[in-house]
Amino acid sequence: MDKAACGTQGYKPLPATRFKSFFYYSKEYFFKLVIFGAAGALFFLPQLLWTFASNYSLAKGAAVLDPSSPAYADSLAALRISGTLTSGLVSVPLFALFFVGLSGAFYAAMRISTGRFCTVADFFKGIKTCGPRFALAGLVFGLSLFGFRLPFALYSAAKNQYVYAFFTAVGGLQLILSSAFVLWYCTQTALYTASVWQIIKNSVRLAFGKFLPTLAAAAVAALPYALAAIIPPPFNLLAVLALSFLYIGFASLGLTCFAHGVFDKTINPALGSEYVGRGLCPAGKNK
Protein backbone atom coordinates (compact mmCIF):
# COMPACT_ATOMS: atom_id res chain seq x y z
CA MET A 1 0.00 0.00 0.00
CA ASP A 2 1.59 3.30 -1.03
CA LYS A 3 1.74 6.57 0.86
CA ALA A 4 -0.81 8.12 -1.43
CA ALA A 5 -3.39 5.70 -0.10
CA CYS A 6 -2.68 7.01 3.41
CA GLY A 7 -3.68 10.54 2.64
CA THR A 8 -0.85 12.23 0.76
CA GLN A 9 -0.97 13.63 -2.77
CA GLY A 10 -4.68 14.40 -2.48
CA TYR A 11 -5.90 10.87 -1.77
CA LYS A 12 -8.50 10.25 0.93
CA PRO A 13 -6.73 8.62 3.91
CA LEU A 14 -7.43 5.03 4.82
CA PRO A 15 -8.50 4.31 8.40
CA ALA A 16 -5.79 3.70 10.98
CA THR A 17 -7.66 1.14 13.13
CA ARG A 18 -10.15 -1.67 12.60
CA PHE A 19 -12.76 0.23 14.63
CA LYS A 20 -12.45 3.24 12.33
CA SER A 21 -12.38 1.00 9.28
CA PHE A 22 -15.96 -0.13 9.91
CA PHE A 23 -17.28 3.45 9.67
CA TYR A 24 -14.95 4.29 6.78
CA TYR A 25 -15.95 1.33 4.62
CA SER A 26 -19.62 1.54 5.65
CA LYS A 27 -19.68 5.03 4.17
CA GLU A 28 -17.66 4.13 1.09
CA TYR A 29 -19.75 1.04 0.28
CA PHE A 30 -23.08 2.07 1.82
CA PHE A 31 -25.37 1.17 -1.07
CA LYS A 32 -23.53 -2.04 -1.91
CA LEU A 33 -23.77 -3.15 1.72
CA VAL A 34 -27.52 -2.55 1.56
CA ILE A 35 -27.67 -4.70 -1.59
CA PHE A 36 -25.59 -7.43 0.04
CA GLY A 37 -27.84 -7.36 3.10
CA ALA A 38 -31.00 -7.55 1.00
CA ALA A 39 -29.60 -10.48 -1.01
CA GLY A 40 -28.61 -12.29 2.17
CA ALA A 41 -32.04 -11.65 3.69
CA LEU A 42 -33.68 -13.54 0.82
CA PHE A 43 -31.96 -16.67 2.12
CA PHE A 44 -33.39 -15.91 5.58
CA LEU A 45 -36.95 -15.56 4.28
CA PRO A 46 -37.80 -19.34 4.35
CA GLN A 47 -36.81 -19.52 8.03
CA LEU A 48 -38.89 -16.44 8.82
CA LEU A 49 -41.93 -17.80 6.98
CA TRP A 50 -41.54 -21.13 8.77
CA THR A 51 -41.41 -19.33 12.13
CA PHE A 52 -44.60 -17.46 11.27
CA ALA A 53 -46.33 -20.67 10.18
CA SER A 54 -45.20 -22.50 13.34
CA ASN A 55 -46.41 -19.72 15.62
CA TYR A 56 -49.72 -19.55 13.79
CA SER A 57 -50.20 -23.30 14.06
CA LEU A 58 -49.44 -23.20 17.79
CA ALA A 59 -51.85 -20.33 18.39
CA LYS A 60 -54.56 -22.08 16.38
CA GLY A 61 -54.03 -25.34 18.29
CA ALA A 62 -54.11 -23.56 21.65
CA ALA A 63 -57.33 -21.75 20.69
CA VAL A 64 -59.31 -25.01 20.41
CA LEU A 65 -58.34 -26.18 23.89
CA ASP A 66 -60.84 -25.75 26.70
CA PRO A 67 -59.33 -23.56 29.45
CA SER A 68 -61.85 -24.95 31.97
CA SER A 69 -60.72 -28.53 31.39
CA PRO A 70 -58.59 -30.12 34.16
CA ALA A 71 -56.23 -31.33 31.45
CA TYR A 72 -55.83 -27.87 29.88
CA ALA A 73 -52.38 -27.15 31.31
CA ASP A 74 -51.02 -30.57 30.31
CA SER A 75 -52.53 -30.34 26.84
CA LEU A 76 -51.11 -26.87 26.30
CA ALA A 77 -47.68 -28.00 27.51
CA ALA A 78 -47.74 -31.02 25.19
CA LEU A 79 -48.75 -28.77 22.30
CA ARG A 80 -45.86 -26.39 22.99
CA ILE A 81 -43.31 -29.19 23.29
CA SER A 82 -44.54 -30.83 20.09
CA GLY A 83 -44.43 -27.48 18.32
CA THR A 84 -40.89 -26.83 19.53
CA LEU A 85 -39.74 -30.24 18.32
CA THR A 86 -41.22 -29.76 14.87
CA SER A 87 -40.30 -26.12 14.48
CA GLY A 88 -36.77 -26.58 15.82
CA LEU A 89 -35.84 -29.57 13.71
CA VAL A 90 -37.18 -28.09 10.47
CA SER A 91 -35.31 -24.86 11.25
CA VAL A 92 -31.94 -26.64 11.21
CA PRO A 93 -31.68 -27.02 7.40
CA LEU A 94 -33.32 -23.61 6.96
CA PHE A 95 -30.53 -22.02 8.98
CA ALA A 96 -28.05 -23.86 6.78
CA LEU A 97 -29.71 -22.19 3.77
CA PHE A 98 -29.57 -18.81 5.49
CA PHE A 99 -25.85 -19.21 6.15
CA VAL A 100 -25.29 -19.89 2.46
CA GLY A 101 -26.63 -16.38 1.90
CA LEU A 102 -24.40 -15.08 4.68
CA SER A 103 -21.39 -16.53 2.87
CA GLY A 104 -21.90 -13.98 0.10
CA ALA A 105 -22.25 -11.10 2.57
CA PHE A 106 -19.19 -12.12 4.60
CA TYR A 107 -17.07 -12.69 1.51
CA ALA A 108 -17.97 -9.24 0.21
CA ALA A 109 -17.28 -7.76 3.67
CA MET A 110 -13.89 -9.48 3.67
CA ARG A 111 -12.94 -7.87 0.36
CA ILE A 112 -14.16 -4.47 1.48
CA SER A 113 -12.41 -4.54 4.87
CA THR A 114 -9.08 -5.61 3.36
CA GLY A 115 -9.14 -2.74 0.87
CA ARG A 116 -9.90 -4.79 -2.21
CA PHE A 117 -12.29 -3.77 -4.96
CA CYS A 118 -15.73 -5.26 -4.39
CA THR A 119 -18.68 -5.58 -6.77
CA VAL A 120 -22.09 -7.18 -6.53
CA ALA A 121 -20.64 -10.16 -8.39
CA ASP A 122 -18.42 -10.84 -5.38
CA PHE A 123 -21.53 -11.68 -3.35
CA PHE A 124 -22.26 -14.58 -5.68
CA LYS A 125 -18.59 -15.53 -5.84
CA GLY A 126 -18.68 -15.82 -2.05
CA ILE A 127 -21.63 -18.19 -2.24
CA LYS A 128 -19.82 -20.30 -4.83
CA THR A 129 -16.53 -20.51 -2.93
CA CYS A 130 -17.71 -20.43 0.71
CA GLY A 131 -21.35 -21.51 0.58
CA PRO A 132 -20.89 -25.22 1.44
CA ARG A 133 -18.67 -24.42 4.42
CA PHE A 134 -21.07 -21.76 5.66
CA ALA A 135 -23.92 -24.27 5.34
CA LEU A 136 -22.03 -26.45 7.82
CA ALA A 137 -21.89 -23.50 10.23
CA GLY A 138 -25.62 -23.00 9.73
CA LEU A 139 -26.28 -26.62 10.68
CA VAL A 140 -24.19 -26.20 13.84
CA PHE A 141 -26.03 -23.01 14.78
CA GLY A 142 -29.45 -24.51 14.01
CA LEU A 143 -28.76 -27.59 16.14
CA SER A 144 -27.38 -25.42 18.92
CA LEU A 145 -30.47 -23.22 18.89
CA PHE A 146 -32.66 -26.32 19.01
CA GLY A 147 -30.57 -27.56 21.95
CA PHE A 148 -31.63 -24.43 23.82
CA ARG A 149 -35.26 -24.22 22.71
CA LEU A 150 -36.20 -27.78 23.66
CA PRO A 151 -35.13 -27.73 27.33
CA PHE A 152 -36.62 -24.23 27.63
CA ALA A 153 -39.97 -25.57 26.39
CA LEU A 154 -39.73 -28.48 28.82
CA TYR A 155 -38.84 -26.07 31.62
CA SER A 156 -41.85 -23.89 30.87
CA ALA A 157 -44.18 -26.88 30.90
CA ALA A 158 -42.74 -28.85 33.83
CA LYS A 159 -44.29 -28.92 37.27
CA ASN A 160 -40.94 -29.58 38.92
CA GLN A 161 -38.77 -27.05 37.10
CA TYR A 162 -35.43 -27.42 38.89
CA VAL A 163 -34.02 -30.14 36.64
CA TYR A 164 -35.22 -28.46 33.47
CA ALA A 165 -33.90 -25.10 34.68
CA PHE A 166 -30.45 -26.68 34.85
CA PHE A 167 -30.70 -28.09 31.34
CA THR A 168 -32.04 -24.75 30.07
CA ALA A 169 -29.00 -22.99 31.55
CA VAL A 170 -26.69 -25.57 29.95
CA GLY A 171 -28.54 -25.09 26.66
CA GLY A 172 -28.10 -21.32 26.87
CA LEU A 173 -24.38 -21.67 27.60
CA GLN A 174 -23.77 -24.01 24.68
CA LEU A 175 -25.72 -21.64 22.40
CA ILE A 176 -23.44 -18.76 23.42
CA LEU A 177 -20.30 -20.83 22.87
CA SER A 178 -21.61 -22.17 19.56
CA SER A 179 -22.38 -18.63 18.39
CA ALA A 180 -18.83 -17.56 19.26
CA PHE A 181 -17.45 -20.55 17.39
CA VAL A 182 -19.62 -19.81 14.34
CA LEU A 183 -18.48 -16.18 14.28
CA TRP A 184 -14.80 -17.17 14.06
CA TYR A 185 -15.53 -20.01 11.68
CA CYS A 186 -17.38 -17.75 9.22
CA THR A 187 -14.89 -14.88 9.30
CA GLN A 188 -11.95 -17.26 8.77
CA THR A 189 -13.70 -19.15 5.99
CA ALA A 190 -14.31 -15.92 4.08
CA LEU A 191 -10.66 -14.84 4.43
CA TYR A 192 -8.39 -17.90 4.45
CA THR A 193 -8.01 -20.96 2.23
CA ALA A 194 -7.10 -23.28 5.10
CA SER A 195 -8.70 -26.69 5.56
CA VAL A 196 -12.01 -27.02 7.37
CA TRP A 197 -10.27 -28.86 10.21
CA GLN A 198 -7.72 -26.07 10.69
CA ILE A 199 -10.44 -23.44 10.68
CA ILE A 200 -12.43 -25.46 13.22
CA LYS A 201 -9.41 -25.74 15.53
CA ASN A 202 -8.70 -22.03 15.25
CA SER A 203 -12.36 -21.21 15.87
CA VAL A 204 -12.47 -23.28 19.06
CA ARG A 205 -9.31 -21.61 20.36
CA LEU A 206 -10.59 -18.13 19.57
CA ALA A 207 -14.06 -18.84 20.97
CA PHE A 208 -12.52 -19.61 24.37
CA GLY A 209 -9.41 -17.42 24.20
CA LYS A 210 -11.32 -14.31 23.08
CA PHE A 211 -14.60 -15.17 24.75
CA LEU A 212 -15.52 -11.81 26.30
CA PRO A 213 -14.58 -9.65 23.27
CA THR A 214 -16.40 -12.12 21.02
CA LEU A 215 -19.48 -12.03 23.26
CA ALA A 216 -19.45 -8.24 23.22
CA ALA A 217 -19.12 -8.05 19.42
CA ALA A 218 -21.89 -10.61 18.89
CA ALA A 219 -24.14 -8.79 21.37
CA VAL A 220 -23.69 -5.48 19.55
CA ALA A 221 -24.45 -7.15 16.20
CA ALA A 222 -27.54 -8.91 17.62
CA LEU A 223 -28.88 -5.92 19.59
CA PRO A 224 -31.20 -4.61 16.82
CA TYR A 225 -32.75 -8.09 16.54
CA ALA A 226 -33.19 -8.28 20.32
CA LEU A 227 -35.00 -4.94 20.24
CA ALA A 228 -37.18 -6.13 17.34
CA ALA A 229 -38.11 -9.22 19.36
CA ILE A 230 -39.94 -7.13 21.97
CA ILE A 231 -42.46 -6.02 19.34
CA PRO A 232 -45.73 -7.99 19.71
CA PRO A 233 -46.24 -10.86 17.21
CA PRO A 234 -46.71 -11.12 14.30
CA PHE A 235 -45.33 -7.61 13.77
CA ASN A 236 -42.03 -8.67 15.34
CA LEU A 237 -41.41 -11.01 12.41
CA LEU A 238 -42.12 -8.20 9.96
CA ALA A 239 -39.67 -6.00 11.88
CA VAL A 240 -37.02 -8.72 11.75
CA LEU A 241 -37.55 -9.13 8.01
CA ALA A 242 -37.27 -5.39 7.34
CA LEU A 243 -34.22 -5.18 9.60
CA SER A 244 -32.54 -8.09 7.83
CA PHE A 245 -32.87 -6.44 4.44
CA LEU A 246 -31.16 -3.30 5.76
CA TYR A 247 -28.76 -4.66 8.35
CA ILE A 248 -27.11 -7.94 7.34
CA GLY A 249 -24.50 -6.29 5.12
CA PHE A 250 -23.41 -3.84 7.83
CA ALA A 251 -23.43 -6.51 10.55
CA SER A 252 -21.24 -8.73 8.35
CA LEU A 253 -18.79 -5.87 7.83
CA GLY A 254 -18.74 -5.02 11.53
CA LEU A 255 -18.03 -8.58 12.63
CA THR A 256 -15.44 -8.93 9.87
CA CYS A 257 -13.60 -5.77 10.96
CA PHE A 258 -13.64 -7.00 14.55
CA ALA A 259 -12.29 -10.40 13.50
CA HIS A 260 -9.54 -8.86 11.38
CA GLY A 261 -8.37 -6.90 14.40
CA VAL A 262 -7.89 -10.19 16.24
CA PHE A 263 -6.37 -11.96 13.23
CA ASP A 264 -3.80 -9.16 12.92
CA LYS A 265 -2.50 -10.13 16.36
CA THR A 266 -2.90 -13.92 16.22
CA ILE A 267 -2.93 -15.55 12.77
CA ASN A 268 -1.69 -12.96 10.30
CA PRO A 269 1.79 -12.31 11.78
CA ALA A 270 2.64 -15.98 11.20
CA LEU A 271 1.64 -15.61 7.55
CA GLY A 272 3.87 -12.60 6.92
CA SER A 273 3.93 -8.88 7.63
CA GLU A 274 2.12 -8.16 4.36
CA TYR A 275 -0.96 -9.90 5.75
CA VAL A 276 -1.14 -7.66 8.83
CA GLY A 277 -3.30 -4.56 8.62
CA ARG A 278 -4.69 -5.11 5.16
CA GLY A 279 -7.21 -2.38 4.40
CA LEU A 280 -5.60 0.01 6.90
CA CYS A 281 -3.06 2.77 6.54
CA PRO A 282 0.33 1.14 7.34
CA ALA A 283 0.81 3.64 10.16
CA GLY A 284 -2.27 2.11 11.83
CA LYS A 285 -1.21 -1.52 11.66
CA ASN A 286 -1.67 -3.58 14.81
CA LYS A 287 -3.76 -0.86 16.47
- The pLDDT value given to residue 226: 74
Alpha-carbon gap, residue 19 to 35, rounded angstroms: 23
pLDDT tens track for 11-24: 567 888 999 999 99
pLDDT beyond 60 at 8: no
- The pLDDT value given to residue 127: 97
pLDDT beyond 50 at 214: yes
Provide the percentage of residues in the chain whose pLDDT is more than 90.
Answer: 54
Output 248 or 73, whichever has higher pLDDT: 248
pLDDT beyond 60 at 10: no
Q: Is 287 exposed, middle or buried (0-12, 13-18, 19+ CB in 10 A)?
A: middle
Listed in sequence order, the residues at least 6 apart from 214 whose beta carbon sits closer than 8 Å to its beta carbon are 180, 183, 184, 206, 207
pTM: 0.87
- The pLDDT value given to residue 215: 92
pLDDT tens track for 163-200: 767 878 888 899 999 999 999 999 999 999 999 999 99
